[in-house]
Copies of this chain bind each other. A is one copy, B any other.
Amino acid sequence: MENFSADTRRIALDAMGGDMGPTEVVAALQLALREFSDLCPVTIVGNEAELTPLLQQANLLDHPKVALLHASEVITMGDEVMTAIKRKRDSSMIKAIELVKNGEARAVVSSGNTKILVSAGTLKLRTLAGVERPALSPVIPREGGHFILIDAGANPDARVTHLVHNAILGSHYAQLELGVERPRVGLLTIGTEEGKGNSLINGTHESLKALGDLVNYVGPVEGFQVFFDHVDVIVCDGFTGNICLKSWESLSKFFRNELKAQMLSTPVRRLGGLLAKGAFTGLRHRIQPERYGGAPLLGLRGTVLKAHGSANRYALMNAIGDASEFIRVDFTSRIESDIERANKILRPEPADAKTP
């Protein structure tokens, strides 16, 4: 096992936060090392006594790309945000974030408590120059592909500037994650006619139009267009985004349960279901893709990837792979110049403003 300060292009992996426990995290790390040949080195953070035998079993204890950092505490789903950040300094999540803060790593991957990860990430890593608030941006399946929802809950009381920054952050992320050269960016609202949203939406709409070629802004997007091939990035405030994301997950589960109940209700349907089993598996893979294991918290001086609390080893493996990719392309520094340009357009220098 190498000295984890030797290469700062490394990933800090919180082993303790998820519902599935450290066994699943170690399995994910093993898969990631196998799957991604150029994976950045990883420091796995968590209880040494629990992790050592798991790493040994997985033949990772002496792996050149794996380091272990002991953390005696665990942040749970029931912890209060500020109490956890202040008191649980020796928790795996906080210590993983500290590694990035101290320059010993560049990305954190955690499936722990979202609110605490967002708050601790923001407080400790701070936002990029010119960015006021970070944004959580999951990848969601839709007709013919995927879109990025930004913000899914990091910033519920958003202002126009925040939404404009979300458009830039989401655009860069879509290039990286979806491989779209010029991602179409839409603003989530309730009417596609100009001036038909609320004041936040109207202000953001005008500002996005003013950005010119900085963002490929295609205009407002209404709810009924979300799951069809209209845009690659959907910009919204964190309140709307979080309710949408969570209610979509809830609706998906409801569908699955209802369909299952319908399929099992007669012997003929059960036989039909058996024959068509592959279709349901195919749909499940399409709708809840493990390919996108983590939603990044964009806009910080460092990468924070939030994996779903119930992320299994494959989802986590992909989150680890994504973190490595963020580091490889130096994602955060690519954004700063665009944010600076946008801020100049949105808030011209005082000298300009005073010109008669």
Contacts and interface: CB of A to CB of B under 8 A. Distances in A.
Interface stretch (A66-74, A208-216, A267-275): A267-275
Nearest to A255: B255
Given A228-B254, A254-B142, A276 B263 contact: yes
A178 interface: no
A218 interface: no
A223 B250 contact: yes
A279 B273 contact: yes
B190 A243 contact: yes
Contacts of A350: none
B244 A223 contact: yes
Contacts of A250: 223-228
A198 B157 contact: yes
A236 B39 CA distance: 45
A142 B156 CA distance: 26
B246 A248 contact: no
Given A223-B245, A246-B224, A250-B225, A143 B257 contact: yes
Contact of A266 (B190, B246, B278): B278
Nearest to A278: B269
A257 to B, nearest CB: 7
Q: How large is the interface on A (under 10, 10 to 19, 20 to 34, 35 or more residues)?
A: 35 or more
A206 interface: no
Contact of A247 (B115, B156, B224, B271): B224
A226 B273 CA distance: 28
Nearest to A191: B115
A330 to B, nearest CB: 32
Interface stretch (A100-108, A282-290, A318-326): A282-290
A265 interface: yes
Contact of A243 (B157, B227, B244, B282): B244
A271 B278 CA distance: 12
Given A258-B287, A276-B269, A279-B273, A227 B251 contact: yes
A197 interface: yes
A258 B256 CA distance: 13
A182 interface: no
A258 B278 CA distance: 13
A222 B246 contact: yes
A279 B287 contact: no
A81 to B, nearest CB: 9
Given A199-B157, A250-B223, A259 B272 contact: no
Given A197-B239, A198-B239, A259-B279, 13 more contacts: A143-B258, A156-B190, A189-B243, A223-B249, A227-B251, A227-B253, A240-B240, A247-B248, A255-B283, A262-B278, A262-B282, A263-B279, A269-B279
30 contacts: A142-B254, A156-B190, A189-B243, A223-B243, A223-B245, A223-B246, A223-B249, A224-B250, A226-B251, A227-B250, A227-B253, A227-B254, A236-B243, A239-B240, A240-B240, A248-B248, A252-B255, A255-B287, A262-B278, A262-B279, A262-B280, A262-B283, A262-B286, A263-B279, A266-B278, A268-B276, A269-B278, A271-B275, A271-B276, A272-B276
